[in-house]
Structure 1
Amino acid sequence: MRRLGSVQQKIPCVFLTEVRNEPSRKRDCQQFQVVATENVNPSALQSDIHCAVATEKIDGTCCYATTYKGINASQREPYLWARLDRKPTKQADKRFKKYQYSQKTCKGFVWNVDKDFCEAPESWIAAHRVQHENGHPVPDEHGHILGWVPVDHTNKQYCWHFCVVNYDAGVALVLKTHGEDEGLLEMVSVPLADLMEQTLELIGTNVNGNPYGLGSKKHPVHVLVPHGVLRIRKPPPVEFQQLYSWFQECQEGRMEGIVWHCDDGTLVKIHRHNLGLKWPVGDTFLNTRPVVVHVDETPDPDASEKDLFKSFSSINGRLFRCIRDIQFEP
């Protein structure tokens, strides 16, 4: 499977979609829903979707690992970057929403990138696959310009991103499948250098309503999940009714969605919302898998009791029934 670089503007749905005249379940102020039809997307067929690797779509916030020259750094070092999309100004967004409401579509709206978008931090970079015209990045169909900002201690907005990296040690906290047993998950400390040019999903107590039930308010738990690492061992056929039944009836289908990785590098996905199904669900498939902790970092004597690396080091070697059951010593 290929490593993912910076996020694409949009991963297409595995089925062709249609617009319904009903308020969106996912996006506020969007007066229509985009739902899947029963017709497989021709681009997915062209990329041989039936031979693709199916992986679990994780519900978190997207991150990117690449280098950055920090304020005090003399050279570029491996860094974690947080997703930050440039969004329209209030006036431009008002015009866009009015257009959406009247046309029941996002397509065809004309942006003035010079004037219609909020300023980004100086360190902001556009995602690699964002198209450019006349030197300016082009917004996606939802009116966002996808991009990244480096994660450090100076921005409290990204404090939950910052808690899963230790730049002094050059490591990150990662959840992945165990190398010798795909049914077993592993919480590990990974060199940031090994994650370069990959995208990952940050999940945890304070991300997206915590659908996986990690940690608690008193002891928040967050972790990075590399995209594509959680393979679906017995994926359903790429057929509407079989996928619908799989999500509804199978334990393994209790996930946000599927991302297929095709041999030619193409990615296609399906989200439960595309099928009219509820998310989150109470008992997710991710929480049916045992997890072992392999974090053995030398604790920083000045680290607080809530430092995640220190906390995980205290339970190094422990096996838990699932990630929701991970608890630290009192």
Structure 2
Amino acid sequence: MEEDFKPVPECWIPAKEIEQQNGKPVPDENGHIPGWVPVEKNSKQYCWHSSVVNYEFGIALVLRHDPDEPGLLEICAVPLSELLEQTLELIGTNINGNPYGLGSKKSPLHFLIPHGAFPVRNLPTLKHNDLLSWFEDCREGKIEGIVWHCGDGCLIKVHRHHLGLCWPLPDTYMNSKPVIVNMNLNKYDCAFDNECLFNQFLKKDKQKFDRLKDIMLDV
């Protein structure tokens, strides 16, 4: 069975829920063994992940809803201690074809998004035609997909591709929202490298943009 799986790095850690037999992880019902690889500070392979984390101060650059104003997105520095026991997704210039049109080659831009941070307000019914119509015709449906969080802990995902729909889109729902920069780093004695994303966003602290695409960092 071990020959059916590609080798993993020595630092690979199996996910908590994975059953183990004789000290070895057992594939789940889908035949997978999910796990984690630490993102090292100077790793070239994970350089874009590292660009949104400051290891010295233990903070990450996160995109989420503004807690005080519905409909407004917020770019902020979040302590890593507040992100424990959850998963986040990296988006940006050099990730998955950059579907949100962030940054540029000269000035790449990346964020972490906590999974579940963007709830769907007007869910379609679980019927093929209703889902198809929602993704095609509803403004809120201009997204990559939906993940249902079931009462028993199961997660069910529907991607646009599952319905034969295109992704990426020229105009996404997330890019229709205004966004504000709230770094709130006063409690840190920070001295960031001039070129790092944290320093770049400090220069734009409290600035508001009509949409994510409009954010251009200093080159």
The answer to whether structure 1 residue 162 and structure 2 residue 50 are counterparts is yes
Matched residue, 2:100? 212
Query: Residue type of the partner of 2:18?
Result: V
The answer to whether structure 1 residue 321 and structure 2 residue 194 are counterparts is no
The one-character-per-residue Cα deviations of 1:275-315 (angstroms, maximum 9, x if unpaired) are: 111111111111001110011446526x142x000000000
The answer to whether structure 1 residue 146 and structure 2 residue 34 are counterparts is yes
Matched residue, 1:240? 128
Query: Residue type of the partner of 1:149?
Result: V
CA root-mean-square deviation:
2.0
Q: 1:187 aligns with which of 53, 71, 75?
A: 75
Q: Judge conservation of contact 1:175–1:185 (CA < 8 Å) in 2.
A: yes
**What SS does the corresponding residue of 1:231 show, helix, strand or coil?**
coil
**What SS does the corresponding residue of 1:156 show, helix, strand or coil?**
coil
**What SS does the corresponding residue of 2:45 show, helix, strand or coil?**
helix
Larger Rg: 1
Q: Which moved more, 1:309-318 or 1:238-247?
A: 238-247
How far residue 183 of structure 1 moved from its aligned partner, in angstroms, is 0.9
Q: Which moved more, 1:178-187 or 1:214-223?
A: 178-187
Q: Percent identity, aligned pairs only?
A: 52
- Alpha-carbon separation, structure 2, partners of 1:284 and 1:140: 34
Query: Residue type of the partner of 1:271?
Result: H
How far residue 263 of structure 1 moved from its aligned partner, in angstroms, is 3.6
**What SS does the corresponding residue of 1:150 show, helix, strand or coil?**
coil
How far residue 141 of structure 1 moved from its aligned partner, in angstroms, is 7.3
How far residue 261 of structure 1 moved from its aligned partner, in angstroms, is 1.9
Q: Judge conservation of contact 1:314–1:329 (CA < 8 Å) in 2.
A: no
> Closer, same or farther in 2 for the Cα pair 1:148/1:176, shift >3 Å?
same
- Alpha-carbon separation, structure 1, partners of 2:14 and 2:84: 17
Q: TM-score, normalised by structure 2?
A: 0.90
The answer to whether structure 1 residue 261 and structure 2 residue 146 are counterparts is no
| Count of equivalent residues | 216
The one-character-per-residue Cα deviations of 1:234-273 (angstroms, maximum 9, x if unpaired) are: 2222222111001111121111111122344332221111
**What SS does the corresponding residue of 2:48 show, helix, strand or coil?**
helix
The one-character-per-residue Cα deviations of 1:96-147 (angstroms, maximum 9, x if unpaired) are: xxxxxxxxxxxxxxxx21x444443222101123343443223467765321
Q: TM-score, normalised by structure 1?
A: 0.61
- Alpha-carbon separation, structure 2, partners of 1:209 and 1:142: 27
Query: Residue type of the partner of 1:163?
Result: S
User: Looking at both structures, which has the greater relative contact order when contacts are Cα pairs under 8 Å and sequence separation is at least 6?
Assistant: 1
> Closer, same or farther in 2 for the Cα pair 1:254/1:218, shift >3 Å?
same
Q: Judge conservation of contact 1:314–1:328 (CA < 8 Å) in 2.
A: no
